[in-house]
Amino acid sequence: SSRVLWTLAVTQFSFSREGSSIMPAIKKNTKKTVATGARFVVDATLPADDQILDASAFERYLNEHMKATKGAKAGVLGESVTIERDGAKITVASKSQLAKRYVKYLTKRFLKKSQLRDYLRIISVDKKTYQLRYFNIEGAEEEDQE
């Protein structure tokens, strides 16, 4: 095992000894770049099924108020950001980086504008998904039972 490996930024060289001569073998680096796009889902099925939240109005709000980049104007998304609605699930897909926190911020603003912030909250279900849920109000349930 008289093999020596040297790693450079782009190319790997390996030298093997066959007999008395040294023969270089060049290998390309196999690492691939990953796209930096982001895809987030806001699941609003619970309030939409109860007809408290209008999913099309929420989609329209995101289209009008979302910024594609930090310095861009609101509502001018171009092809870098797409917002789609499938029933009551809103999908925000971006070709560039987009913060999940920004989607949560816009959702909270929509809830506040439509006066639903006191009844609904936005919860992170997993890495790419938010869900709108009702607040658990235990004091109101006890009063209703009496």
* Percent of the chain's residues with pLDDT above 70: 70
The mean pLDDT of the chain is 80
Residues 6+ apart with CB under 8 A from 98: 38, 40, 81, 92
Q: Count of alpha carbons within 13 Å of 97, Cβ hemisphere only? A: 4
DSSP 126: E
In this prediction, residue 71 carries a pLDDT of: 82
Q: What is the pLDDT of residue 4?
A: 42
Place of tokens 């109005």: 57
Token pair recorded at residue 117: 């912030």
Which DSSP helix (H) or strand (E) runs through 110?
helix 100-113
What is the model's pTM? 0.69
* Res 2: pLDDT: 39
Within 10 angstroms of residue 117's Cβ, the number of other Cβ atoms is 15
In the chain, which stretches have pLDDT less than 50? 1-12, 33-34
